[in-house]
Amino acid sequence: MESAWLVPAALAVGVIIGAAIVLTIAIADRNGRRAAALSSPSLPSGLEQVIEILDRPAVLVDPSSSAVRMSPSTPSSGLLVNGAVRQEIADLAREVRGSGEVVERDLILPRGGRRDPAKHLRVRAALIGSRWVLVIAEDRTESIRLEEVRRDFVANVSHELKTPIGAVGLLAEAIESASDEPDQIRRFTARLTTEAQRLAHLTQEIIDLSRIQGADPVANVDVVAVDGIVAAAIDRVRVVADAKDIEVAAGGSKKLAVLGSETLLVTAVHNLVANAVQYSPEHSRVGVGVTRRGDMAEIAITDQGVGIADDEQERVFERFFRSDPARSRNTGGTGLGLAIVKHVVQNHGGEVRLWSQPGRGSTFTIALPLADPAGAAQTEGIAV
């Protein structure tokens, strides 16, 4: 009988002892966490809120090079790699922690195989308290790109103007020296006229691009017929197309209308049609198609030219960019036509797209919002 109650008693004692052990471990763990919390200094008052509202990338780095806090834009900034602080930032934090001084540095960070392989960041790092380093970054990638575009623009303008100006001077001297040769005078005069026209065309395109980029609102915005835009643009290239025996054919949807400046829209479409004719072989065809797609009117210009390489398609709308500068110079191109197209279309609330494949030609498509004649009177002041 005694053995019969000893077994349950032993089990009860075991349960009690086990529970006591678990409770002891839990208390020890809680006390350990509390002790760790007490020994680890807290963030300075208000710092977390400041980081949270920063509109630029910022990360607070602890002595183990871990990101303690970060601003909302930090994850996509390049300061982190797979959630961890990038090595360059960790090295910068250690440098600041060692010197105690504020450090400012420009970093060029790889972007993992993208077409633009580098991101340009200007970072400032400062010691916060005795443990943390706050790193704040300014993304200068776009500003550097724009500065490069500006320098290229100035250099290209100087180069493009120098060519016809130099030619005009030489031809003037040639005419003077050939004063007794009427045939030579006529030939030099014809060349002089061509170079003067080229100079005037380039100057006008520079003026047009500057005005368009300024996005000054047009006082009177009209409802413009797309058919009229296409007809006027084609009419301007008729002589050049006929000289190369290139058929320029128009078709598609009729009676579509958009809001804006007819002059600027005709210029944009003309630039695309003129490019198609210039870079198409003789005895070929250029098509201009109009389509309604939802609330947009699309004008597509298709040629049978040599096409544009993939790595150049993103740059064709840059000022003075030409995939074949020598050929463009021979055809009279300035490298500004597509830049003008881009800005005209954007200022009309539209977009321009490009499809091209080397050896199979190109298609440029302008998409513009359709006009609402009933609401046209309310659209005055639109930037075009």
How would residue 290 be classed by pLDDT, with cut points 50, 70 and 90?
A: very high
Burial (Cβ within 10 Å: 0-12, 13-18, ≥19) of residue 39: exposed
Which of 58-62, 80-84, 199-203 is the most confident on average?
Answer: 58-62
304 pLDDT exceeds 90? no
31 or 209, greater pLDDT: 209
pLDDT at position 226, please? 94
CATH topology of domain 217-384: Heat Shock Protein 90 (3.30.565)
290 or 114, greater pLDDT: 290
pLDDT at position 219, please? 45
pLDDT at position 222, please? 83
Q: Each residue of 224-274: pLDDT tens digit?
A: 999 999 999 999 889 889 989 999 999 988 889 998 888 889 989 998 999
CATH number (3.30.930.10, 1.20.59.10, 1.10.10.10, 1.10.287.130) of 145-214 reads 1.10.287.130
Q: What is the mean pLDDT of residues 368-380?
A: 57
State the CB neighbour count (10 A cutoff) for residue 382. 15
Beta-sheet pairing, 247-252 with 285-293 = parallel
Cα-Cα end-to-end distance for the chain: 105
State the CB neighbour count (10 A cutoff) for residue 32. 10
46 or 209, greater pLDDT: 46
Q: What is the mean pLDDT of residues 67-77?
A: 87
89 pLDDT exceeds 80? yes
Residue (of 15, 16, 35) closest to 27 by Cα position:
35
User: At how many degrees (to 10) do helices 262-278 and 337-347 cross?
Assistant: 150
Beta-sheet pairing, 84-85 with 80-81 = antiparallel
Q: What is the spatial distance between Cα 69 and Cα 319, in angstroms, rounded to a whole number?
A: 42
291 pLDDT exceeds 90? yes
39 or 125, greater pLDDT: 125
How would residue 328 be classed by pLDDT, with cut points 50, 70 and 90?
A: very low
Which of 32-46, 79-93, 175-189, 301-315 is the most confident on average?
Answer: 79-93
Q: Give the ranges where 245-336 is alpha helix by DSSP (H).
A: 262-278, 310-313, 325-331
Q: Each residue of 338-352: pLDDT tens digit?
A: 888 888 888 888 999
CATH number (3.30.450.20, 3.30.390.10, 3.40.640.10, 3.40.50.1820) of 47-139 reads 3.30.450.20
323 or 124, greater pLDDT: 124
How would residue 43 be classed by pLDDT, with cut points 50, 70 and 90?
A: confident
Q: What is the mean pLDDT of residues 45-49?
A: 79
Q: What is the mean pLDDT of residues 197-226?
A: 69
* Run of H or E including 120: strand 118-128
Mean model confidence pLDDT for the chain = 77
Domain boundaries, the chain: 47-139, 145-214, 217-384
What are the angstrom distances between the C-alpha of 302 and each of 286, 307, 348?
A: 6, 10, 22
pLDDT at position 108, please? 87
DSSP category for residue 241: H
